[in-house]
Structure 1
Amino acid sequence: MLLSFSITFAAQAQQTKASGGAVADAAQETLVVEAACGQCRLGLPGQSCDLAVRLNGQAYFVDGTTIDSHGDAHAKDGFCSAIRQAEVQGAVVDGRFKATYFHLLPEVAKGK
């Protein structure tokens, strides 16, 4: 019984970690966007690795969560190595995406 609680808790923590423990706001639109390292994958300027999302063809750095909040950015499936999908809520303010909710979606298995 304790194991099942731990697995459920861990999954919930991953879903809400980026938004400070908040859950998605049912009154706000949730978008599925591309998420990756802005410098390594989305063509944004800079010298370090920072989380970014692509909305409507435009890339924006993200505030409200960090690249390291979602695993090893340099792993095979990390943000510096792959463009992932995420469910987000927030708004673009002053050229940056201010995330109030960020949930990294599982990788889709590729066919052989």
Structure 2
Amino acid sequence: MKNLLVIFLMSLGISISSQTNQQKTQVVEAACGQCQFKMQGKKGCDLAVRIGGKSYFVEGTKIDDHGDAHSKEGFCNAVRKAEVSGEVKDGKFVATSFKLLPTEKK
């Protein structure tokens, strides 16, 4: 029984560490995929992030969760910075956290 507990705890630790590696926090560009990143495949306006020069539609949060997308600083009119964690899966960014950063003053 003791060996089973040790094996279970070890497998749990391995699982947690592999998830942590895949879901590091990073700062990315965020905007409307269609309006700012010129992405195809969806109709309307959808939240997207650009990571390493490649754009991905976002799952786990929506464009309207972060204010008016069509305002002056909104995702349809501006590319913003966001602190995110999650992973790219099946060509989409699956967000586990998404924090929009304040706009930089010019």
Question: Under a length normalisation based on structure 2, what TM-score does the superposition of the two structures give?
Answer: 0.77
Structure 2 matches for 1:1-112, cutoff 5 A? 28-45=23-40, 46-110=42-106
Residue 101 of structure 1 aligns with an amino acid whose one-letter code is S
Residue 86 of structure 1 aligns with an amino acid whose one-letter code is A
Q: CA RMSD in A?
A: 0.9
Residue 26 of structure 2 aligns with an amino acid whose one-letter code is L
1:29 Cα deviation after fit: 1.8
Bigger shift: residues 73-82 or 42-51: 42-51
Tell me the SS of whatever aligns to 1:87: strand
Tell me the SS of whatever aligns to 1:68: helix
1:43 Cα deviation after fit: 1.4
Tell me the SS of whatever aligns to 1:69: helix
Residues matched between the structures, number = 84
Report the Cα distance in structure 1 between the residues aligned to 2:97 and 2:78, rounded to whole angstroms: 21
Report the Cα distance in structure 1 between the residues aligned to 2:25 and 2:71, rounded to whole angstroms: 27
Select the structure that is richer in helix: 2
| Displacement over 2 Å in runs of 4+ | none
Between Structure 1 and Structure 2, whose CA radius of gyration is higher?
Answer: 2
Question: Under a length normalisation based on structure 1, what TM-score does the superposition of the two structures give?
Answer: 0.73
Bigger shift: residues 40-49 or 64-73: 40-49
1:87 Cα deviation after fit: 0.2
Gaps of 5+ in 1: 1-26
1:47 Cα deviation after fit: 2.6
- Between the aligned residues of both structures, percent identity stands at 61
